[in-house]
Chains A and B, each alone.
Chain A
Amino acid sequence: DAKTTQPPSMDCAEGRAANLPCNHSTISGNEYVYWYRQIHSQGPQYIIHGLKNNETNEMASLIITEDRKSSTLILPHATLRDTAVYYCIGNNAGNMLTFGGGTRLMVKP
């Protein structure tokens, strides 16, 4: 799995968009970028993934740069329940995921 780098923490105002960056400059051509989040005392939860194109689902949007060296997870209207640790992972379909330190997102009222 590619090594990823994320800021350790971020704040966001409730109702505003949360933009979480991830650097994955060593990602290989067949590795997808995955985002998971972990709410306190729960297991990680899958959010979204992508290879080259931008992706959107009911939870979030994923913007991947053209060179694939970085990506941004966007939560369009953050709520207090989005407070969690967000993990960016590069993975090529193996089940041995490498989680980094993640970004602790605090959504504030």
Chain B
Amino acid sequence: KAGVTQTPRYLIKTRGQQVTLSCSPISGHRSVSWYQQTPGQGLQFLFEYFSETQRNKGNFPGRFSGRQFSNSRSEMNVSTLELGDSALYLCASSLEPQGARSYTFGSGTRLTVV
């Protein structure tokens, strides 16, 4: 079966712009979580969606937002990009919000802010 699909794979944006990243979970998975990975901070939790509702949010500024659609696909948006937002953004899906036992990660979107 198809895995978690993240698009685009690579993205270059300019400071001050905004960006939208997309995540299509494994068919039948209803929970989607987003993580940011940087060399300095490692993997950090951004937010989690289940049945179109945000269940948890990590410690990130309001410039980071997300949503989930009725087909479980999710998008995350970063507004007013800063150089420090350059990172690998990873999406993980699971059937239910059951935690680490059922996560499948995508390959990520690598965002570079210049």
Using a CB–CB cutoff of 8 Å, the interface residues on chain A facing chain B are: 32, 34, 36, 41-46, 49, 87, 89, 91-102
Contacts and interface: CB of A to CB of B under 8 A. Distances in A.
Contacts, number: 71
B55 interface: yes
Contacts of A49: 100-101
Contacts of B94: 95
Given A32-B99, A91-B100, A96-B58, 12 more contacts: A34-B100, A36-B100, A44-B103, A45-B105, A46-B101, A46-B103, A92-B99, A93-B98, A93-B99, A95-B97, A98-B45, A100-B42
A99 B43 contact: yes
A87 B43 CA distance: 10
12 contacts: A32-B99, A32-B101, A34-B100, A42-B105, A43-B92, A44-B43, A44-B103, A46-B103, A92-B99, A94-B56, A97-B100, A99-B35
B57 to A, nearest CB: 9
A95 B58 CA distance: 11
Interface of chain A, main secondary structure: loop
A50 B20 CA distance: 37
Interface in B28-57: 31, 33, 35, 42-45, 48, 55-56
Nearest to A49: B101
Contacts of A91: 99-100
A101 B42 contact: yes
A94 B99 contact: yes
B104 interface: yes
A43 B101 contact: no
Given A95-B55, A96-B58, A99-B43, A43 B107 contact: yes
A97 B107 contact: no
B31 A43 contact: no
A101 to B, nearest CB: 6
Complex A-B, nearest 3 residue pairs according to Cβ-Cβ distance, in ascending order: A43-B105, A99-B43, A93-B99
A71 B58 CA distance: 27
Nearest to A45: B105
A96 B56 contact: yes
